[in-house]
Amino acid sequence: MRYLVTAALPYANGPLHIGHIAGCYLPSDIFVRYQRLMGRDVKYICGSDEHGVPITLRARKEGITPQQVVDTYHVMMRDSFQEFGISFDIYHRTSDKIHHETASDFFTTLYNKGVFKEEESEQYFDEEANLFLADRYITGTCPKCANPNAYGDQCEKCGSSLSPRELINPHSQLSGKAPVLR
């Protein structure tokens, strides 16, 4: 029997912390090591997620480019995993050409099979920044626990999953202004 084991790809926007290691990498590493001890064919693959709002927010905060952020933290995380002894067979980057090609082929195949449903929806827009906002670019008050710093996708105080439209007094992290729906 063959096994392919993956773990959540950490955003390349900061150093690893104990929550990363204890949360998903150590348990999956233990599973992989057990499978190897049992003589099973197993590959353990992971990599830095180099596409996401946390990266662009870090770049804005530090006054550098997103590429500089991911180049710095990919190496830092890769080296940290090695120092912790996490036994990845491959630790890669989502910015690599092979990742783009593989992901594109995967989703194109699904699209051509009619798996996706296309819909139009309204999204928050920052008129000052002239940009549609991903959920992490929007903060506001959590409707469940009144945390004034909840994100448009979750509240880190109470753990609730949210939608940007649920936030009370939402505002853009880019301009600080209230976004509009478009």
* Residue 177 DSSP label: S
* Residue 167 DSSP label: S
Query: CA torsion sign, 152 to 157 to 161 to 165?
Result: negative
Q: Report how far residue 154's alpha carbon sits from residue 163's, in angstroms, rounded to the nearest whole number.
A: 8
pLDDT of residue 82: 96
Summarised one tens digit per residue, pLDDT across range 106-155 is 999 999 999 999 999 999 999 999 999 999 899 999 999 999 999 999 99
Residues of the chain with pLDDT under 50: none
pLDDT of residue 10: 95
Map out the domains of the chain with their CATH numbers. Answer: 2-112 (3.40.50.620), 124-181 (2.170.220.10)
pLDDT of residue 50: 96
pLDDT of residue 57: 87
pLDDT of residue 113: 97
pLDDT of residue 1: 87
Q: Report how far residue 103's alpha carbon sits from residue 76's, in angstroms, rounded to the nearest whole number.
A: 25
**Model's pTM, two decimal places?**
0.79
CB 77, CB 93: distance < 8 Å: no
Q: Output the CA torsion 115→119→121→126 (10° steps).
A: 70
